[in-house]
A and B are shown apart, each in its own frame.
Chain A
C-alpha cells in the first residue's frame, strides 16, 4: 500500500464535505449559506409519533426551511446513497472479478424498486426499506444462481442474466403501475431515481449505510484475494462460499437502503470503482473508501446540477446519460482485449 495512494482518501473527504456545503448553498433560490450558522438561533429537538424527529431552530424563516428541511437532508442523503451504490458496485466487481458488475446492471436495484413498489401498493409504504432490501437480496441471489456454471461465473452470462432479470422485474413494476393507478407517480419515482422528496426521516434510514460499508470494508483483503479467482482464494485461506454470501447479502442491503431512499439510480456503482481503481489502484483496502467517497461526491453533484439547472429532473436520468456510454466504452475495450 503506497503512501501516495493513501493520500487520496483525506483529499476525497475534503472534496465530499466541500461538495455537500456547496450543494446546500446552490439551488434555484439563492440563499446565503451563512444563515445556517447564525449564532442567534436556538435549536430545538422534537420527537412525536406523528411528526417523527424534528430538529429545527426556534423562529425559523422560509430561507431556513429551504436550507435545513430540504437541501441539507438532500445533500446528506445523496452523499450516503452514492457511498452505498459505489461500495456495493466495488464489492460486486471484486467478487465477480469483473469490472462491469454494478447493482443496477445486475438487477439488484430493480429488485429493490419492485420491493419498494409492492410496499406502497400493498401496505401504503409501510416497511418500505425492508421490502426494498428483500427485493434486492432476492434479485441478487437469483442472478448469481443463474449465472453460475460449474463453480464459475462467466462475464457474459452474468451480464445477460442481470439484464434478463431486470427486464422481468421492470415488467412486474409496470404491471403494478398499470393496475394501481393511484400510486402511479410514486412508483414512477422508483424507476427513475431521485432525491426530490427526501426528508430527515430518509437520512435516519441512511445511517444504516455506513454500517454496511464498514461491514464490507472488514472483508477488503478477502475481496482482493477472491478477485484472483475462487480456487486461488481457497488456496490462500479464504472461506469462499461464506465470503460470497456475506458480500452479496451486504451489497443487497446497501442497494436496498439506497433504493428505498432514492429509487433505482444507475451506473454510480459502475463508474466510480472504475475511475478510482485508475487513481488509487486495485487494493480494496484503499479502493473501497476511495470509491465510497467518490460515489458520494458524484451523486451530490449530479443531484445539485439536476436540481439547479434541470428543474428537479430525476437524477437517475443524468447518471444514465453519462453511465451508459461509459458502460459501452468498457464493453468495447473488453472486446478489443
Chain B
C-alpha cells in the first residue's frame, strides 16, 4: 500500500525552478532514501512532502488523500520531521522539547494527559535520552540533541517519518546508533530520508531515489541505483561499487585521484597476486603509466583491482596452472613492456610460470617490490626462491616501497 505518493510535481522558489516533474511513492513501512549532489533538490523534495513548500503543479498524496486537505494538526499527527540540528533559542529541558511532539494531540484548553506523558517517556527510552530528561538542551551533545529530536518526532506517533540528513552532523557511531533506532521502527512507520552518505543510504534503505538537477535519474533497490555509471553521471566521480562483505549491500569506494598526465611511451608489466599488487597498480595507473598485469586468476584480489582500474590483464581460470595460451599472451605483454615489476606474493605451482618466464629475458629491467611487511612466500619447496635469487643475481633491482618503484621506473625510462 502506498503511504506517500507524489504525482508529477514541479516546485520553484520565486522564478527559480527547484524540482521538475517528480513522481515517486513510498510503500507503507519501507525506508526510502533520497540521494543526489548538493543543490539537486533533495531537501526541497522533503519540504514538499511536509507541506512546507507547495508545488506549482501536481499533487502530494498521503494515504490516498491529497496533502492539501489536511489541517495543520491532522498533518502533524500523520507526518513527523527530524531536521538537521536546530538552533534552540531558549533553555528548554529535553522533556519539554520531546513533549512538544504531543502538541497536535492536546486541545488548546487542555494540558498533557497521562497517556501523553507515557508516549513521551516511551520515545525517550527508545532513543536512549530518558536519563537526560531534565537536562537543558544546551547542555547535551549534538548527538544527544539529534536523538532528542527523533524522540520528539516519535512522540507525534506519525505514520510517516521524514529525515533531512538527520545524522550528517554526527560521528559514525552516533549515525549508526540513530539509523538503527529508525530501522527498528519500520513496519509501522514509513521512513523517507535524505542522505549525504551513500554507503549509509545503501545499508539502511529498501529503495533509493537519486536526484540530479531537479529531476529523478534513478529509482530502485540500492544495487540498481548505486552503480559505477550512475555515480559517474550524477556525481561526476569515478568510484568502485562493491558488495559490502558482511551485509551484501552495495558499498561505494571512490577513486580519489583522477588519472594524471599520460606517459604513453612507458609501458610497465606487473606480476602480482594475492592482493599484493593493488597499491602498486593504483599508483602506476594514477601516475599515467601504461600498465599491463598478469597472469592472474579471476578470483584474485589483484584481478578485481585491474578490472576496476581498466588495466589490461592476462587472466586465467581459478585454481588452474597457466595455460599455453595465457603463457604466450604473457610473453607478448612482457616483450612490449619497458620494464617488469614483480611484487612480493605467494608463489605456488600454479603461478610459478609468471616468474620463470623472466629467466629467459635477460635484457628486460626487472624491479622486485619486496618490503619488510610484504615478502615472497614460497609454496614450491625452494624452486621459486631460487628463481628470484637468480633474477637478483642477474641485475634485478630491489625496492622496498611503491614510490621507490616509481622513481626507478622514471630513471630507467
Task: Point out residues on A near B: beta carbons under 8 Å.
Answer: 94, 97-99, 218-219, 221-222, 224-225, 227-229, 231-232, 234-239, 277, 281-283
Contacts and interface: CB of A to CB of B under 8 A. Distances in A.
Interface in B80-95: 80-81, 83, 86-93
A224 B152 CA distance: 14
B81 A283 contact: no
Contacts of B71: 239
Interface of B: 47, 50-52, 71-77, 79-81, 83, 86-93, 96-97, 100-101, 103-104, 106, 108-109, 152, 156
B103 A218 contact: no
A229 B77 CA distance: 19
Contact of A218 (B72, B76, B89, B109): B109
Q: In this complex, which of A97, A235, A239 has the most chain B Cβ atoms within 10 angstroms of its Cβ?
A: A235
A234 B72 contact: yes
Contacts of A234: 50-52, 72
Contact of A239 (B72, B90, B96, B101): B72
A237 B108 CA distance: 12
B89 A98 contact: yes
Contacts of B101: 236
Contacts of B72: 234, 237-239
A98 B89 CA distance: 7
B76 A227 contact: no
B86 A281 contact: no
Q: In this complex, which of A97, A237, A283 has the most chain B Cβ atoms within 10 angstroms of its Cβ?
A: A237
B81 A235 contact: yes
Nearest to A96: B89
Given A234-B72, A235-B50, A237-B75, A229 B91 contact: no
A221 B72 CA distance: 15
Given A227-B90, A234-B52, A236-B103, 18 more contacts: A97-B90, A218-B109, A224-B96, A228-B88, A228-B89, A235-B52, A235-B79, A236-B156, A237-B74, A237-B76, A237-B77, A237-B103, A239-B72, A277-B91, A281-B91, A281-B93, A281-B96, A282-B96
B103 A238 contact: yes
A234 B70 CA distance: 12
A235 B76 contact: yes
B86 A232 contact: yes
B89 A97 contact: yes
A215 to B, nearest CB: 11
Nearest to B110: A221
A219 B50 CA distance: 23
A277 B91 CA distance: 8
A23 B109 CA distance: 35
Q: In this complex, which of B90, B96, B97 has the most chain A Cβ atoms within 10 angstroms of its Cβ?
A: B90
Nearest to B162: A235
A293 B66 CA distance: 46
A70 B347 CA distance: 109
Contacts of A219: 108
A178 B58 CA distance: 60
B66 to A, nearest CB: 17
Contacts of A218: 108-109
B86 A237 contact: no
A237 to B, nearest CB: 3
Contacts of A225: 100, 103
A94 B88 CA distance: 11
A235 B79 CA distance: 8
Given A237-B77, A282-B91, A232 B104 contact: no
Contacts of A221: 103, 106, 108
A236 B102 CA distance: 8
A228 B100 contact: yes
B52 A236 contact: no
Contacts of A235: 50, 52, 76, 79-81, 83
A219 B159 CA distance: 27
25 contacts: A99-B89, A99-B90, A218-B108, A221-B106, A224-B96, A224-B100, A225-B100, A227-B90, A228-B100, A232-B86, A234-B72, A235-B76, A236-B104, A236-B156, A237-B73, A237-B74, A237-B75, A237-B77, A237-B103, A277-B91, A281-B92, A281-B96, A282-B92, A283-B92, A283-B96
Nearest to A237: B76
B330 to A, nearest CB: 64
A232 B104 CA distance: 13
Contacts of B156: 236
A218 B89 CA distance: 22
A237 B101 CA distance: 9
A229 B90 contact: no
B50 A229 contact: no
Given A237-B73, A281-B93, A229 B86 contact: yes
A281 B367 CA distance: 74
Contacts of B86: 228-229, 232
Contacts of B79: 235
Contacts of B75: 237
Contacts of B90: 94, 97, 99, 227, 277, 282
B83 A232 contact: yes
A333 B259 CA distance: 52
**Minimum-distance CB pairs A-B, first 8:** A237-B76, A237-B104, A282-B90, A235-B81, A237-B73, A97-B89, A239-B72, A236-B103
A218 B108 CA distance: 7
A249 to B, nearest CB: 17
A282 B156 CA distance: 22
B88 to A, nearest CB: 6
Contacts of B76: 235-237
A218 B86 CA distance: 26
Nearest to A277: B90
A222 B52 CA distance: 18
Nearest to B134: A2
B89 A227 contact: yes
A281 B97 CA distance: 13
A98 B97 CA distance: 18
Contacts of B91: 277, 281-282
A326 to B, nearest CB: 18
Contacts of A237: 72-77, 103-104
A98 B88 CA distance: 10
A219 B103 CA distance: 12
A141 B51 CA distance: 25
A163 B77 CA distance: 41
Contacts of B100: 224-225, 228, 236
A221 B51 CA distance: 22
A172 to B, nearest CB: 33
A229 B87 contact: yes
